[in-house]
Amino acid sequence: MPTQKGYLVLADISGYTFFLAKTELEHANIALSHLLEAIIEKMGSVLTISKLEGDAVFAYVEESKLPNGESLLALIDQTYLAFRDQAETLHRETTCSCKACQEIPTLDLKFMVHHGDFMVQQVAGIKDLLGSDVNLVHRLLKNGVTESTGWRGYVLFTLQGLEHIQADKESFIQQSESYEHLGKVETYVMDLHARYKTMKAL
């Protein structure tokens, strides 16, 4: 298969591991299903959903199919808005007093965004993405953003990702991460919860 260039996006539900360990499994999984559906519905309108990875959604788009890179940040805003609204609706409308249903608002959503090369491989009817850049966007989940900022809902762009959407770097906090075999990665981070509150106030 030919190598493609484009955007790689990983949306991951923050706090789900702790949420799952401390709450009732059946209702926790029901909540997860609703939240993942909200994420997939929004992201899938622009991106190709590659696969579900537990509490995360991995998606991509070839760069020629997204000529206006700035629309990617708008899509992330819309996806975060849909996620937060769904979480609040599930909590507000439930009549269940179990810990899982009551703890839904503690969940948050973070995005890792990178621009690079990837290859779509199909084996036995199953498609998967391959490449060093695919590995990188997954490694980005292990970062120091929450420790340094306190944010649990955020978007993290690599330098390559941010430069390709031509966004203003002044709106982001610059950081760096380092990974074995991949080296130092320059990153740019934005608080999505603050943007959510602004959007809801409009």
Q: Are 87 and 79 in contact (CB under 8 A)?
A: no
Helix (H) or strand (E) holding 159: helix 159-165
The per-residue pLDDT for 94 is: 81
Q: For residue 12, what is the domain's CATH number?
A: 3.30.70.1230
- Asked if residue 1 belongs to a domain, the reply is no
- Asked if residue 73 belongs to a domain, the reply is yes
Tens of pLDDT, residues 100-138? 788 888 899 999 999 999 999 888 777 889 999 999 999
Question: CA–CA separation, 149 vs 145, rounded Å?
Answer: 6
Tens of pLDDT, residues 55-108? 999 999 999 999 888 899 999 999 999 999 999 998 888 877 777 788 888 899
Quick one: which of 46, 30, 43 has its CA closest to 83? 43
Banded model confidence at residue 2, pLDDT cuts 50, 70, 90? confident
* Domain count within the chain: 1
Q: How many CB atoms lie within 10 A of CB 167?
A: 18
Question: CA–CA separation, 107 vs 101, rounded Å?
Answer: 11
Per the prediction, the chain carries an average pLDDT of: 91
Quick one: which of 40, 45, 50 has its CA closest to 13? 40
- Asked if residue 87 belongs to a domain, the reply is yes
The per-residue pLDDT for 59 is: 97
Helix (H) or strand (E) holding 184: strand 183-191
The residue range of the domain holding 182 is 6-201
